[in-house]
Chains A and B, each alone.
Chain A
């Protein structure tokens, strides 16, 4: 049986302490710049804050993982190297990386640190995962959210490292690390700037007939009737028309969030070593609720007790749920 570590989001120092206190085995965070894929205003850590956070977490036996999981554009790699040096100095337990140049820098300069392969590296096959393990000494892969549980089980048998799987939160549709949709409409890049559908480009417009449209950089991503709740304009969750689809439809995915709580026992059985909760941009109270509920569920499963999943379903604030690609190939 895998250890089933619980990896929890820490968008701010306060959220980090909350997640630690609620029972996280590890928390993950980033610096206040383009070196991580949640480079949102008001989020993330200064080096001083991270230093304090590491002390706090370690005192309670919780590991701290640092996301350095974006792709430095040529000419700007020093920012990523400085972040790596700072993190190594502060005693970060593992670094989550995607770019080969960044991974190579760690392997050369900080060979003692532990590397995890970010979902942003899009390693979805045993061969790709082995590449990063053998070349950079990666110890854990965060799998893209595109494999079924039987496929994960098979991958586990063919790789020399641990598997971390997302289990809750935002449901990424595109192969992460290969998506330029936001850059195409806004000029800010997910890979290079750590930005996805940035709030600064978001606008909601109320129309005369009472309907509401959500826009990103002036482009209408979705339109909501009087009886619908307006959602955030993420490009891959929008409604569009096609030549044979005159009524706008969710061309990529409906605005659903991932919830694998019912599949936890199967994921453990498949050999998933760590469960990742998405949501560095979420509130402290959200983090507290989600981490507590999953802590209880994982402890129950590990002790052979039936886990109460109702708590977890209730956490999603009425949003629609999916088990995404994990349950069936029909998702594809």
Chain B
């Protein structure tokens, strides 16, 4: 079996405040049609949103598992309020499904029981990964800004320790989180009085410079890249250095079609030019980026000199 056959395609957690109905429809379609192996669920960004969609979680989990997907529950990236601490402790107490931890509060609650390390956990290097492995981590998702040469070293170290390694290959990059809600602020409100205005921006709220360059997206307390990360051309390198899981972040485009493009690329059913064109057709005018991977400004799109 070729190495690529073992590479798993994953769907990251929805970072936006999509309505419960939209989420149900989205995951029903993912279950039925999307060629992804694993799906991360749960509210990662804002604890105020969780009550809207958490009641559906058991049904969504069952639906996805019936379709043969592995489900993982992701924990909040930021824990500062009592209810956020409790949500994290409750998640850390679960035996199934698997959990992905995004905050040290979750590591504390989980102890040495098995868990995945999320992208907010800052697993930047082999020493940190070795530490995490000793504490029970079975899988690590690397930070979005880690350059390719560091990914290679980190992936080898993780594989040698028996850990799976995940890298985001599609969707907006998380650039920052804060205690302040910038969605609420843009409407003259505070986080406690936000009235859930973030629900109006299903793909984030664009911020433009005064000379009209769209550069960032606001998603509640999170700031994301305007561009979609697209590592289609880099995936063969990622596979060759030992990355086992490729993460697609949900955006408001046809994610089933996106998953098919990445699946075909992994299975070498498409050539790189066709895959790139197909993704462009699905995503429309949005800019793609891979600067972080190449150790350059994250927004940049670097052409691969050796693309085959």
Q: Which residues of A contact B (CB under 8 A)?
A: 71-77, 98-102, 104-105, 121-128, 130-132, 134-135, 144, 146-147, 151, 173-175, 177-181, 183-187, 189, 191-192, 213, 217, 219-223, 236, 238-245, 248-249, 251-253, 325, 329-332
Contact = CB atoms under 8 A, between A and B. Distances in A.
A147 B80 contact: yes
B95 interface: no
Nearest to B213: A219
A82 to B, nearest CB: 13
Contacts of B187: 244
Nearest to A135: B135
B124 A74 contact: yes
A69 B205 CA distance: 32
A184 B132 contact: no
Contact of A74 (B79, B104, B125, B296): B125
B297 A332 contact: no
Contacts of B10: none
Given A179-B176, A180-B176, A330-B190, A124 B80 contact: yes
Given A183-B145, A240-B207, 15 more contacts: A71-B125, A74-B124, A121-B104, A127-B88, A127-B105, A180-B175, A180-B292, A184-B175, A186-B297, A213-B210, A213-B211, A238-B209, A242-B206, A252-B180, A331-B190
Contact of A175 (B78, B105, B152): B78
A243 B218 CA distance: 12
B153 A220 contact: no
Contacts of A77: 125-127
Contact of A191 (B145, B153, B173, B216): B145
Contacts of A178: 77, 120, 122, 176-177
B151 A74 contact: yes
B interface residue count range (under 10 / 10 to 19 / 20 to 34 / 35 or more):
35 or more
A101 B154 CA distance: 12
B170 interface: no
A104 B133 CA distance: 13
Contacts, number: 232
A248 B210 CA distance: 7
A217 B130 CA distance: 36
Contacts of B207: 240-242, 251
Contacts of A240: 207-210, 215-216
Contact of B153 (A75, A102, A104, A184): A75
A210 to B, nearest CB: 15
B186 A102 contact: no
Interface string B92-124: 000000000001110111000000000010101
A184 B79 contact: no
Contacts of A128: 79, 103-105, 108
A73 B125 contact: yes
Contacts of A330: 190, 192
B218 A251 contact: yes
A147 to B, nearest CB: 7
Given A71-B125, A213-B210, A241-B210, A251 B175 contact: no
B125 A252 contact: no
Contacts of B89: 127
A181 B78 CA distance: 18
A147 B126 CA distance: 32
Most buried by A among B105, B132, B154: B105
Given A127-B88, A131-B107, A175-B178, A191 B124 contact: yes
A258 to B, nearest CB: 14
Contacts of A131: 104-105, 107-108
Interface in B155-211: 157, 173-182, 185-187, 190-192, 205-211
